[in-house]
Structure 1
Amino acid sequence: MDAATQTMIDNLQKNTGKSLEEWIVLVQKQNLQKHGEILKFLKTEHGFTHGFANLVAHKALKSDAGSAEDSDDLVKKQYTGKEHFWPIFEKLKAEIETFGKDVELAPKNAYVSVKRKKQFAMLIPASKTRFEIGINLKGQAAQGILEAETKSNAMCSHKIILNHEEQFTQEVVDWLKKAYTAAG
């Protein structure tokens, strides 16, 4: 388990008086099966911030890399039926890993979180026709291929949509590098 996750787990106990395991039991008693349902429950009923709700949801559903048997299998499963996006993921991963030794790729069930001190991007094979790159660049105006994220509960401030491998350009890498730098 990475240090940031352990710190969050420790702070969860300090802030709420309940351990992660106790929160997981509470979620299971509610019979909540979807990530979004768990987030809503913890935020509305217990005043959780998004970060703590997200932690409990992933641990309760065993949908994070730390809970999975094999994080490589978790990533490969994301591309089932979307294999044509695998080369985009591989190129993104290779480029991002050149940014610095502090880059961490943290697979979840549906995406790969890309972190430095904090999350700066998400790599998401969203559908059979759309690969999304979520980027955290608060205060940045949308421009070029960088679109503002319009979902009210979005974990990223912007997104880049790729429909095929030829759309992977230096501009994509430059936006990711800018987000990486901002996350330092």
Structure 2
Amino acid sequence: MLSAAATFVLNKSKRMDKVTAETMAANLLTNTGKSLAEWADFAKKNNKGKHGESVKWLKENFGLGLFFADLIVHRANGTDAGSFTDDQLITKQYQGKEHLRAIYDTLISQITSFGSDIEIAPKKGYVSLRRKKQFACLKPATKTRFEIELILKGQPATPLLEAITGAGVMCTHKIKIEKASEINIEMINWIKLAYSKAN
């Protein structure tokens, strides 16, 4: 069960995500004269097979940008985040990995005690944590491993805090964990540091 604070912030995040989705849908309607629902229905009736092929078809034949075409195909297939509630997204993340859910619940309970300004934004494969800007991602990386990804630019790696390398990565470090009992004060302090830097 989520704490009262976590539930409040999760509900706040739902409202903000809804506003973002509505803005994108409104822009699509303004730019094309068709609503997201109309485009999704059209794409569904003209299914081109794989996701990428449908996106390419929409871009090449109707002049849609990548983000709008991608959104339309996801909505047509019911695979976009907007097709699910936050609770459903989180539940789906842990299908076949249910034993890792306790890690997420324990972390969220502790993280939301940092302050009332944290936004919890579930995506398809992870949960984004934001303040004024994103500071962490929580995700069941594999069937046996959970990862806490943090934005800690300039922070040297430690045995616990691994550096994330590669072009275009948003988070700079990660902590790997396999069970809730491994959560310790050092992990929480690293998350709190990332939180403090995101103000």
Q: TM-score, normalised by structure 1?
A: 0.70
Distance 1:77 1:4, change over 3 A: closer
1:120–1:183 contact (8 Å) kept in structure 2:
yes
Choose from 141, 147, 150 the match for 1:132. Answer: 147
- Matched positions, count: 163
Q: Distance in 2 between matches of 1:178 and 1:138?
A: 11
The answer to which structure, 1 or 2, has the higher relative contact order (CA under 8 A, 6+ apart) is 2
Long gaps (5+) in structure 1:
43-47
Query: 1:33 offset after TM fit, Å?
Result: 2.4
Closer/same/farther in 2, CA of residues 170 and 116 from structure 1, 3 Å limit: same
Shift of 1:181: 0.5
- Retained in 2: the 8 A contact 1:105–1:112? yes
Distance in 1 between residues matched to 2:189 and 2:162, nearest whole Å: 14
The 5 A counterparts of 1:1-184 are 1-2=15-16, 6=20, 33=51, 61=74, 62-64=79-81, 67-184=82-199
How far apart, in 1, do the equivalents of 2:103 and 2:117 lie? 22
1:109-158 Cα distance to aligned partner (Å, 9 max, x none): 11101111111100010111111111011111112411110232322111
Q: Is the Cα–Cα contact under 8 Å of residues 68 and 74 in structure 1 kept in the other structure?
A: no
* TM-score scaled by length of structure 2: 0.65
Contact 1:120 / 1:180 at 8 angstroms: preserved in 2? yes
How far apart, CA to CA, are the structure 2 residues paired with 1:176 and 1:150? 19
Alignment-mate amino acid for residue 33 of structure 1: H
Q: What residue identity is the alignment partner of 2:80?
A: S
Q: Which runs of 4+ in 1 moved over 6 A?
A: 28-32
* Rounded Cα–Cα distance in structure 2 between residues aligned with 1:156 and 1:59: 28
Cα shift at 1:179: 0.5
Overall identity of the aligned pairs, in %: 37
1:97–1:103 CA contact under 8 A, matched in 2: yes
User: Which amino acid in the other structure matches residue 88 of structure 1?
Assistant: I
Secondary structure of the 2:108 match is helix
Q: Whole-Å Cα distance in 2 between the matches of residues 100 and 71 of structure 1?
A: 21
Contact 2:94–2:140 at 8 Å: present in 1 too?
yes
Larger Rg, first or second structure (1 or 2):
2
1:45 match: none
1:161 counterpart letter in structure 2: K
Residue 68 of structure 1: CA displacement?
A: 3.2
Cα distance in 2 for partners of 1:108, 1:6 equals 14
